[in-house]
Structure 1
């Protein structure tokens, strides 16, 4: 897997993860490579690592576990003064403490103790109190109780401008006395951890630079009337036949989307075929990327829900096509409606998703990924319509968006940014300024993201620290013949850090004097 050499933020984040113990928040606009970064570190970084995400589908896609599964967190609301988070029981709630409420096996305690890097993907959907529970558990079972997250390095990945955490009114009523907002960055642990904030800037998903600029302004709520006028040129009348044209419909409610998919499937006069998914072990319906009973007909519009792992890379998560042949053990999909493609039809076979848990391997002294369940099914689902919420993280070439009644912050931005190009976008209703909602709390938080100058300085510093550590290791081995030239090479390469090498220089000179 290659790294874009011009992507400074990507390189800076990688240095921080590999060469330091700093906590890192990696963010970026839709399509800037956050998922690519996660795949890269999962494959190449050698630290003892666990990957978690807030939902089952997100965890399966990230190759990890849900937060609740790894940390054994019962679904609940956890205010900052909750007796269940106290290190020891108090007289007002005898027998209630973090150890009594969160039962951890010796195996899990060992895993937390040896853990070096915790990755939290899709952190924008993690509620503030849940992040604080993770912090308390790692302090209790994982290491240093005086350090955030028990002294473990944490990599947060996500975009706060996308959809916010789900926080019903009754739950927020319990939390609002302790937190400024429901977002992860309002957690007490976040403020204590002081993560380095890095924003990936280069957009890889969209090819149209003018569209990218419009999306950037919509993301931050700074869109102009000219931006809306440009987008509204893509409004189409109510009789637009999006199914015939191969577009996917993005709606804001489940009811609207389900009704459309059922109606379109019923309208096809071809025979229905039902494909039953194969489940082994622990794999809940809520974790499944595609239905356990997949009902399809020839002519159905479908969406791939997994990236092709073959060399040809014939499909990706979010690619749209039409079923042209149904057989017992394979399905043929034609994707030629998208973007003028003339590729051959894709013959699809079942694929396998796995769920994992992390265990400490005492013999090898490493964290093992143990498969706990699997799910085999065709990587397809009906896709005449999906909700904006389910579309987060996906990429489409042709989108028909109905944003009438958009109610959540970031909803309009998520819908529009799923599309790779402006020419592939159609709108069911004309956009108004009121349809674009940005939470001012998120906007204020985003002002702290590192700019290019800060990223450059951070990249220099993390590189320096990595080389300095190498010199110190050589010196600890007593190899002065190697330490001296390595030290002077360090000084020449990083003259701006001269003060930080003075103590190391003194140690080397003292060792030379002693040898003489």
Structure 2
């Protein structure tokens, strides 16, 4: 797949992991799985749709910036994993975007569910909460217990700094992002327990399909949105792939 050499039998094997070929009980195991999607438009649509479906008050959390006036416009990659603005609510599925405590499992890519968003009693002209309480799926360290008796971890705002056009910039923000859907690009480097994967209509970047599928350890950990054999065949015609092969 990485080199565009997939065969008909490869495609048939992958098609054993589309919804219609799985049992109902197996499909249910993917209800909380991350959707890996090629385009930001579809990722945003899924995340906002899921957020609305919670029927919970939504907190708009704006980061605090210093330095370059343009700092607020920097994307999350420039700000080292921190978003300029977050929309979060109770029961939101979230992903940690920083390595806070590697030994206990609080690593970039750790997934959990928000149980509470806590603010200071007297606001200080900022929409930043004091902490967000998250119940992580996999975590081995000490926890607090929220009012409902759920073991949770407090995630407080952190600061990241980078070099801007007119000096050092900083962003203070909660290191969380949506974990219902992410782009293939954002998924790079993650190892997921399960994933719902949409390969999209075409391979618009070299290795796109390979990167998406390689986020899990086993084929049984994937649920594919249906795609044609022609989609796999077209990988070889990707201009970026041809450029990479030429470089190799």
Q: Same fold (TM over 0.5)?
A: yes
Paired residues of 1:319 and 1:397 also in contact (CA < 8 A): no
Offset at residue 435 of structure 1 (A) = 3.0
Cα 1:442/1:396, change in 2 over 3 Å: same
The equivalent of 2:51 in structure 1 is 265
Q: Which deviates further from its counterpart, 289-298 or 375-384?
A: 289-298
Residue in 1 that maps onto 2:122: none
Aligned to 1:372: 168
Q: TM-score, normalised by structure 2?
A: 0.72
Q: How do 1:68-467 residues align onto structure 2 when only pairs under 5 Å count?
A: 218-237=1-20, 245-282=31-68, 283-288=71-76, 289-308=81-100, 310=101, 312-328=103-119, 329-336=130-137, 341=138, 343=140, 345-356=152-163, 372-408=168-204, 409-430=206-227, 432=229, 434-435=231-232, 437-438=235-236, 439-446=241-248
Provide TM-score, normalisation by structure 1. Answer: 0.37
Matched-pair contact (CA < 8 Å) for 1:301–1:322 = yes
**For each residue in 1:37-73, what CA deviation from the matched residue of structure 2 results, as whole angstroms up to 9, or x when unmatched?**
xxxxxxxxxxxxxxxxxxxxxxxxxxxxxxxxxxxxx
236 and 346 in structure 1: CA distance in 2 versus 1, 3 angstrom threshold: farther
Bigger proportion of residues as strand: 2
Which one has the bigger helix percentage?
Answer: 1
**How big is the shift at 1:352?**
1.6
Listed one character per residue, the Cα deviations across residues 467-502 of structure 1 (whole Å, up to 9, x for unaligned) are xxxxxxxxxxxxxxxxxxxxxxxxxxxxxxxxxxxx
**What secondary structure, in the 3-state scheme, does the structure 1 residue paired with 2:114 have?**
strand
**Take 2:74 and 2:15, find their aligned partners in 1: how far apart are those partners?**
36
RMSD: 2.8
Measured in 2, the distance between the counterparts of 1:427 and 1:346 equals 32
CA contact (8 A) 1:277 1:375 kept: yes
SS in 2 for 1:326: strand
- SS of 1:419's equivalent in the other structure is coil
The alpha carbon displacement at 1:433 in A equals 5.1
Q: Which runs of 5+ in 1 are unaligned?
A: 1-217, 358-370, 447-516
Higher relative contact order (CA 8 A, sep 6+): 2
Would you say the 8 A contact 1:406–1:412 is kept in 2?
A: no
Write the distance in 1 (CA, Å) between the matches of 2:189 and 2:228: 22
**Aligned in 2, Cα 1:321/1:435: closer, same or farther, shift over 3 Å?**
farther
Tell me, yes or no, if the aligned pair for 1:299 and 1:323 is still in contact at 8 Å: yes
Q: Deviation string for 1:395-442 (max 9, x for gaps)?
A: 433211111313313221121122344332211114525336142332
8 Å contact kept, 2:35–2:197: yes
Q: Partner of 1:157 in structure 2?
A: none
Matches within 5 A, 1:499-510: none
Partner deviation per Cα, 1:63-102 (whole Å, 9 max, x = no partner) = xxxxxxxxxxxxxxxxxxxxxxxxxxxxxxxxxxxxxxxx
Give the structure with higher Rg (CA).
1
